[in-house]
Structure 1
């Protein structure tokens, strides 16, 4: 697959997890099977509240002597502090990697994985790890000085690609607002249903097997400027959704949002801006109230 140029991506921050208990500790905290993640490979995962709400979604890279977590830079402090609480007697150390960062590149076409990818294609060159996401885009992890320079055009293209692919990234504005299935994390391999217990596991499993999630992702165009975390309302002024990610267009905003299934055919607005739904990443025929 051919990719565009790469750019440093300031949106992301990194946490280094070291110590001999690092894998089992993260396995017990995150939604994916970290115990069986091969060295020099990566996976997607979520960290959740006890009620199953996603605190952060992330990329997890298992290196030889440590594990690196990539997540929204706005959540690295929060994530580190929350994980720190549960270390107790475990031999684990958490450090925010201030000299390391991430770069992104976009494929020329959108790809969709037919099955959840619990281990992502990963390569390493000169201490830079390149990880291919299920949507075909690539994230590089390495020392910031060794990564490609910032390119605003590439960043906008990457944001557009993630949004149109239905690949959400949780930030401080949207933390603890959605369960994993509302964000389709189970479809891309971020949630492993056979790995055992972790915070929120019971809620997430019940939602999966009993079909209790009544909100999902939608791609929408908005005739104005909006920001992540802004609520979406129907024509009865009832709150029916939330903006997760957005990218500005010439005269509008393209956004990825979580909305009620039952609101898919409704007239929607955000900050008094009119919303046109371009695509639902769920079956809009499910119109039960949520």
Structure 2
């Protein structure tokens, strides 16, 4: 993380655990996140890869699950990078820029992903650069979010995944219930952007933002879940994270076979627990009468009144049977997702 940006946030009252913000002045921001009130969060646990070179679009087109070559200048896309067996190594938000792209991903995935991606560059005119310390990501949500974004960038994007550019950087409207935006700015300009985006909003923790992501049904693959799921298991086909019309990429045959010829046995659900601690990503989900796990937690976030909400990949048959579910000794109660999931093979 950029040292000046971290120092500025500390002056605003931010507390850190490693590179993740845990709250401001003793408040974690979970209440406004839970009530979809105004909230602004510095996403210091995320990083950015800058992809450049004359063959940048072709390179990403041949690596990622989504269509990069036809990505409009005023739009962004979710995408995943897979291993040859079709398992997700990392999830990205792909943002077009002049002369290339930005890839937003969890910082903990940065080093292994960059190292592996560079192996595929070979003689292509492609550059891959970690610009995490030269940039900053700020998320803002709530009824006043579009007004705050417009105040910084001149206007706010109107459609989910749409983006606008201004002198301050780039702002993207994110899908999900309520207004949610992601701002990508320079580290130098981050303090001014923060002050404007936080005006009239609660300053929140990383956990508060993850609660909005869980409620939006947007999965993020971390170290704990890398290579655990194929895209359809985390509903990536339902949230426009996979293109079935583009050419080949690593794991594409597995993904296509699952979509058209196979039967999906597991998919992602949203759920709630009542325990004191939010289950960890990768935690196993069980039924009382089975020793073998029937699913895994993708990500979770605590609730302000106790308990937590989470996304978990579960066996569809077990869910259909309405069997009791538990994770880390806590009962799991299923909740609705904000989108419909078509299950391949049914």
Question: TM-score with structure 1 length normalisation?
Answer: 0.87
2:312 counterpart of 1:257: yes
Counterpart of 2:286 in structure 1 is 233
Offset at 1:211?
4.5
Residues 80, 91 of structure 2: 8 Å contact kept: yes
Give the counterpart of 1:121 among 127, 149, 162: 162
For residues 59-109 of structure 1, give each alpha carbon's deviation from its aligned partner in whole angstroms, at most 9, with x where no partner exists. 111111221100111111121111111111111111111221211122449
For residues 208-256 of structure 1, give each alpha carbon's deviation from its aligned partner in whole angstroms, at most 9, with x where no partner exists. 1134211111111123221111111111222011111111123212111
Offset at 1:119?
8.7
Counterpart of 1:199 in structure 2 is 250
2:220 counterpart of 1:161: no
Residues 104, 155 of structure 1: 8 Å contact kept: no
> For residues 121 and 283 of structure 1, what CA distance do their matches in structure 2 show?
22
> Rg bigger for which structure?
2
For residues 12-37 of structure 1, give each alpha carbon's deviation from its aligned partner in whole angstroms, at most 9, with x where no partner exists. 11111111111101110011111122
Give the counterpart of 1:105 among 124, 140, 153: 140
> For residues 204 and 78 of structure 2, what CA distance do their matches in structure 1 show?
26
> For residues 220 and 238 of structure 2, what CA distance do their matches in structure 1 show?
15
> For residues 83 and 110 of structure 2, what CA distance do their matches in structure 1 show?
16
C-alpha change, 1:153 and 1:212, in structure 2 (3 Å) is same
Counterpart of 2:112 in structure 1 is 78
* 2:184 match: secondary structure: strand
Counterpart of 1:141 in structure 2 is 184
Question: TM-score with structure 2 length normalisation?
Answer: 0.74
> Which structure 1 segments of 5+ residues have no match?
110-117
> For residues 237 and 79 of structure 1, what CA distance do their matches in structure 2 show?
34
2:173 counterpart of 1:132: yes
2:302 counterpart of 1:271: no
* 1:219 match: secondary structure: strand
Counterpart of 2:152 in structure 1 is none
C-alpha change, 1:29 and 1:269, in structure 2 (3 Å) is same
Residues 160, 247 of structure 1: 8 Å contact kept: yes
Residues 79, 94 of structure 2: 8 Å contact kept: yes
Counterpart of 1:114 in structure 2 is none
2:57 counterpart of 1:23: yes
For residues 182-221 of structure 1, give each alpha carbon's deviation from its aligned partner in whole angstroms, at most 9, with x where no partner exists. 1111122111111110011111111111342111111111
> For residues 285 and 194 of structure 1, what CA distance do their matches in structure 2 show?
18
> For residues 145 and 56 of structure 1, what CA distance do their matches in structure 2 show?
28
Offset at 1:54?
0.9
> Which structure 2 segments of 5+ residues have no match?
1-35, 145-158
Residues 160, 173 of structure 2: 8 Å contact kept: no
2:100 counterpart of 1:66: yes
> For residues 283 and 99 of structure 1, what CA distance do their matches in structure 2 show?
38
User: What RMSD over aligned residues (CA atoms) do the two structures have, in Å?
Assistant: 2.8
* 2:113 match: secondary structure: helix
Alignment of 1:160-179 (within 5 A): 160-179=211-230
Count of matched residue pairs: 279
